[in-house]
Chains A and B, each alone.
Chain A
Amino acid sequence: MLTFFTTILLVAMFLTLIRFLKGPTLSDRVIAFDVMSIMSVSLLVILSLYFEQSFYLDIALVFGLIGFLGATIFGRYIEKGI
């Protein structure tokens, strides 16, 4: 059952990756990257249920933090340049 949910999430991540590859402006790519990082957090939660080990949740927390920092820094870069 959990492999079925993982398959659904991987299909959704693949559709987001298409938008990431062909998005016309830089902001579209940043949005697609943000959505993919949040999907990865959810995928890590499902993975921790699959392997029944709780340290995957710590990895999910750190991954969410890094994704948020990346999206914020790219937004800053779009707004003001380097």
Chain B
Amino acid sequence: MIYIGYIFIFLGAMAFTVSAIGLLRMPDIYTRLHVGTKSTTIGTILVIVGAMFIEPSWAFKLFLLAIFILITNPLSSSVIARASRKDKDGEQL
């Protein structure tokens, strides 16, 4: 049971690493937004499922955390995408 959880957490950490490498390599802001949101969502869900396998008595709090991530993560992605589309000149800071 514990080793299944370790496998899930390892897959989640691999998804995070792929997300970070893609965030460095991608050329455009929309591709960066794509790679920075979707793969981190699946990474967090995999880590939380692995933690559910390791400690089954914390399942309710972990389920609540997974639902929260699953709601708020695409919402913030949508807000940032719309804002960077409206921001025409792309101010250099």
A residues near B, CB below 8 A?
A: 1, 5, 8-9, 11-13, 15-16, 18-19, 24-32, 34-35, 38-39, 41-42, 45-46, 48-49, 52, 54, 57-58, 60-61, 64-65, 68, 71-72, 74-76, 78-79
Contacts and interface: CB of A to CB of B under 8 A. Distances in A.
A31 B32 contact: yes
A5 B93 CA distance: 34
Interface of B: 6, 9-10, 12-14, 16-17, 19-21, 23-24, 29, 32-33, 36-37, 40-41, 43-44, 47-48, 51, 54-55, 58, 61-62, 64-65, 68-69, 72-73, 75-77, 79-80, 82-84, 86-87, 90-93
Given A34-B36, A45-B65, A25 B16 contact: no
Nearest to B33: A31
Contacts of A18: 24
